Amino acid sequence: MKTQINRRSALAKLGGVLAGVLILPVARQAKAVVQKVFVSSNAAKGYDPTGHKWLMCIDDNKCIGCGLCVEACKRENGVPEGPYFRTWIERYIIPKPKPGSDQTRGEALVDSPNGGMHGFPEPPLPKDQIEHAFFVPKLCNLCENPPCVQACPVGATFRAPDGAVLVDPKYCIGCAFCIQACPYGSRFLNPVTKTAEKCTLCYHRITRGLKPACVEICPAEARIFGDLKNLPPDDPLEKFYEKNRVQVLKQYLGTKPRVLYAGLDKEVR
């Protein structure tokens, strides 16, 4: 026998389904709130990402290329062994021009053996042929207009309200589009987790009031880090601003980096 469908029961069923759909987000929100209360997290309590604005500055006249920052970064963040770096040091060697040529300087040689983690070997040129040589520490440039965030198809890479560009490892599908999109080469695919990884500004440290590991360990004070929204009066960041003229890497790309360099050479790219 065929079941009778009258208007009343049909409307009641439709109404039930609609109410179910509408109540779902509310129920999920309630679940999240309950989880927040009962599931304890190791994260620092009371950190409000909208109340901070982090800025990293690099005084390139001071970098001595010891590689302690690279090693500290690997230790602090558990970065896997091998050619995977969240921060690294590049050595630029600019040779003297060839005799008889009308150039002012030779073509720059750039190397970074193992990210500079164990220091740098003897330069490939004899000392009298070197016009100028220096180190440049590199890391995520914390763009205000980040190409990696635009490239991410699943919303796993994002720019937090405090200026840190982060990766949500639970959402990352490991497609590596962001690695191609980053003009500074500061991302890599973690061979263990198969997700994209990058400098987080040591987010677990800065939310607890500590400095990032590379800033903490740098023996030459080449890295200066601070919070623009809560700047104490005699902060090193303020002194750095007063004394130096700063520039960013690859300004022509319009990425608006928040890593400011002082004392860069025109060859640095």
Partner 1 sequence: MHRPLLPPQILRLVLLTLAIVGSYLVARAFLTPPTFYQYGWFRGAALEEIAARTPVFAGKQACDECHSDILQKLAKDAHKTLSCEACHGVSREHADNPDILPVKATGNYCLRCHEANPSRPAWFKQIVVKDHYSGKCTECHLPHQPNQTP
Alpha-carbon distance 207 to 97, whole Å? 49
Q: Which is nearer to partner 1, 1 or 25 (CB)?
A: 25
CB of 241 to partner 1, least distance (A): 19
CB of 155 to partner 1, least distance (A): 5
Cα dist. 165→53, 91, 186 in Å?
Answer: 12, 26, 11
CB of 1 to partner 1, least distance (A): 26
Q: Which is nearer to partner 1, 186 or 200 (CB)?
A: 200
Cα dist. 141→43, 58, 163 in Å?
Answer: 25, 11, 10
Q: Which is nearer to partner 1, 28 or 251 (CB)?
A: 28
Alpha-carbon distance 184 to 143, whole Å? 10
Alpha-carbon distance 183 to 262, whole Å? 20
Alpha-carbon dihedral sign for residues 146, 149, 151, 157: positive
Q: Which two tokens stand for residue 100?
A: 């008889």
Q: Which is nearer to partner 1, 41 or 104 (CB)?
A: 41
Q: Which is nearer to partner 1, 9 or 29 (CB)?
A: 29
Q: Which residues of 90-100 are buried (b: 16+ CB within 10 A; e: fewer)?
A: bbbbbbeeeee
**Half-sphere exposure at residue 197, Cβ-oriented, CA atoms within 13 angstroms:** 20
- Run of H or E residues at 24: helix 7-38
CB of 170 to partner 1, least distance (A): 7
CB of 138 to partner 1, least distance (A): 15
CB of 172 to partner 1, least distance (A): 10
Site residues for partner 1 per CB under 8 A: 21, 24-25, 28-29, 31-32, 41-44, 47, 49-50, 61-68, 72, 75-77, 91-93, 119-120, 122-123, 127, 130, 133-135, 155-161, 166, 168-171, 200, 202-205, 207-208, 210-211, 213, 216-221
Q: Which is nearer to partner 1, 154 or 251 (CB)?
A: 154
